[in-house]
Amino acid sequence: MTTEAPRLKWTRNALGYYEATDAKGATWTIDQHPTVPSRQGKNPDWSEKWWLHPAGPETPETHEMCPIVTRRKITALHRHPDILRYADVLAAGWDNACWRIQNGEPLAEQVMRRGDQHAPLSGLLGKPVMIHPQRLLNAELRASDYQRRAYAAEQALRDAGLPVPESPRRS
């Protein structure tokens, strides 16, 4: 099951940015700035967003790799503990896998990724829904794996010149 991401103690500095140090001694900052030009797409968005950075010297590489904490126009993140909690998840090495699973909530559950691991965001925040989203995610990953294996088997039959059996659902 998903373990909760460590909670960091975020403090606001004199410049209005937020700083925290994790258990490994790494320092993180959350600051506000527009997206760097190299990360802009077809329709540039120059609005300021809150970004998570590893503390240290500001370099172009830092801005290329940092994730967005929120796009909301907020001046005081300390008044929004849910956003700072999301920053905890990002600082723990998780990033948005860009897909969601259904969990019986009005909105689908956001899936996070760290290496080969996948986890539902609510589990990482320490607020899992009634049916633990990790079970739903595991079922979704199993189904996806079965579909890939079935496709590979059908492709192998086609490549060998053998007939592909009809699916009972297609007939």
Task: Tell me the domain boundaries of the chain.
Answer: 1-93, 95-160
Computed over every residue of the chain, the mean pLDDT equals: 84
> Range with the lowest mean pLDDT among 4-13, 92-101, 126-135?
126-135
pTM over 0.75: no
pLDDT in tens, 123-163: 899 887 766 667 778 878 888 898 999 999 999 999 999 98
Amino acid at 121: L
Res. 171 pLDDT band, cuts 50 70 90: very low
Q: What average pLDDT score do residues 48-68 get?
A: 82
pLDDT at position 100 is 83
